[in-house]
Amino acid sequence: MTRRGTAPDALGALLDRSLAQIAEASADARTYDRQTINEVADVWDNNTVPLFHAATARTSVGRERRARAALALMAELGPERRRWMVEQAAAVGHSLELLLPPPMAKPRRSRDYRGHVTPPFMPLTAGAALELATDYDLAAAEVRTLLIERVGGRLTGSLVLVAPRRYDGGPQAGDPPELHLRLENIIDVRFDSDDRRGASLRCRAEETVIGVGAGGRLLVTSGTVDIDDPAWHLSTAGRAADQRTPPREEQPRRTPERQRPRPEGAVLVAARIMHIAMLEIRTVGYAHFADRVPVRLLAGALTGAGTDILAAGALRGGRRERAFRNLVETWIKNGGPALAPWFTDELRQIADSEPLPDATRGWIGGITAQGAALPHLGTGQDLDPPLEAELRLAEYTAAHTRYTTPRGSSAVVLLAHPPTGQDSLSRCWRLRVFDVDDVSRFRLRSDAFHGSHELRTDRESVAQESLILGRDSLDVRGSRSRR
């Protein structure tokens, strides 16, 4: 049942729902949903402080006004963010449509600071394929990055192609263009890093075939294209778009954000802890951090924070300070011994860096006195690789130079595996990341993602190692990263 409720209730419910989503997405290594974790945590990068600002207004009218402003700010990012907000609020019984302002019309095309028209995101269609082939030499394109990942019951991923221009980009063209293809519902994958030159796009009504090299291919049902090309305004498509795009000064502008009073005392401490936790969780967007961030523990420790923040914020004076102190201490208790070092380290850094009253600083000193701070809390690494595993993600990046900075070839493999070693009595599967540098081979077939496979790792020489999954469904060779 959906209720109207108040804006603060809806805002707090969105945080509660976000933490529940993150906890669910990280509950089991075999169903680990890195994309959902990253995207949901990212919502609270710019929206944690507005939540605390709304919760601590002096009156209910002020809390309603501030919460509506916070919800409007959250929704301004675009239609996908707004859709997510409405869906998640509805899932916990709140209707946002009457609380949000009408969506701001977003032009299909826009201009950059120079006044040059910029390329739009495009669905991967026959028309998009023709447009790309007109302006870029796909036959001479090379794969720069390939990422394939299991999300729920489907495969998704991305492909970055570096393609020469067919048009004159001028003296300021800079690096070669990158064509970023976002791929949904991947049906088949065949890729070999030794065969990555040349690409083709064949788009049909129900599927798209992306050819790579002489024998590679990606078969997908849908996708999008984003062109990273500073000279795109000089391309055939760019010149046509320029005629249909209004001058930059006539485009709608985002409403300037109002200055907010900075939280104080324990309110500031709680806000900083929440913000830091969300940033920590968000780092799984970088695949090689996926097994180092205790996502499930952090989300569990903060469960119900949205509702609790609103309740504490509605109090006044010393009662509010005590309520937020109790809230932080509750989070620490929920985190248990595994997260105690993380909380200790973060609280001490907040005490050292923020302008806190002496009483608040003394409170932090008291609750962290017995704790041993650690620079970073990871999930721990096994000394030996597992004997079997399920593939969650495989990413390859070719050696290249970007913005005058050379980068070596690399690969990231994310696995879910049964407990090993000291954890052998546990039933919980774990995540394990393999970072590989100076990649000499990266071969991948889609059947690598189908179920559990035997995992073989061999040291070919002092500097070279190999990681092979199943019947060569994944074959990666190179040097183990020191990260």
The 8-class DSSP code of residue 322 comes to: H
Domain range holding 422?
A: 388-480
The 8-class DSSP code of residue 80 comes to: H
The number of domains in the chain is: 3
pTM for the whole structure: 0.89
- Yes or no: say if 469 and 389 are a contact pair by the CB < 8 Å rule: yes
Runs of H (alpha helix) within 247-316: 265-282, 295-301, 305-313
Q: Lowest-confidence range among 279-288, 345-354, 412-421? A: 412-421
In a domain, 358, yes or no: no
In a domain, 378, yes or no: no
Statement to judge: residues 232 and 279 lie in one domain: no
Residue at 424: amino acid letter: S
In this prediction, residue 380 carries a pLDDT of 47
- Classify each residue of 419-451 as buried b or exposed e, where b means 16 or more C-beta atoms within 10 Å of its C-beta: ebeeeeeeeebbbbbbbbebbeebbbbbbbbee
Rounded to 5 degrees, what angle do the CA atoms 53, 58, 59 make? 110
- What's the mean pLDDT when you consider all of the chain? 91
In a domain, 435, yes or no: yes
Mean pLDDT of 176-186: 96
Pairing mode of beta strands 216-228, 142-151? unpaired
In a domain, 267, yes or no: yes
Q: How far apart are CA 152 and CA 32, in angstroms?
A: 8
Q: What percent of the chain has pLDDT over 90?
A: 78
Confidence of residue 244 (pLDDT cuts 50, 70, 90): confident
Statement to judge: residues 64 and 165 lie in one domain: no
For 371-386, what is each residue's pLDDT tens digit? 655 544 454 455 577 8
Statement to judge: residues 166 and 84 lie in one domain: no
Statement to judge: residues 179 and 225 lie in one domain: yes
In a domain, 345, yes or no: no
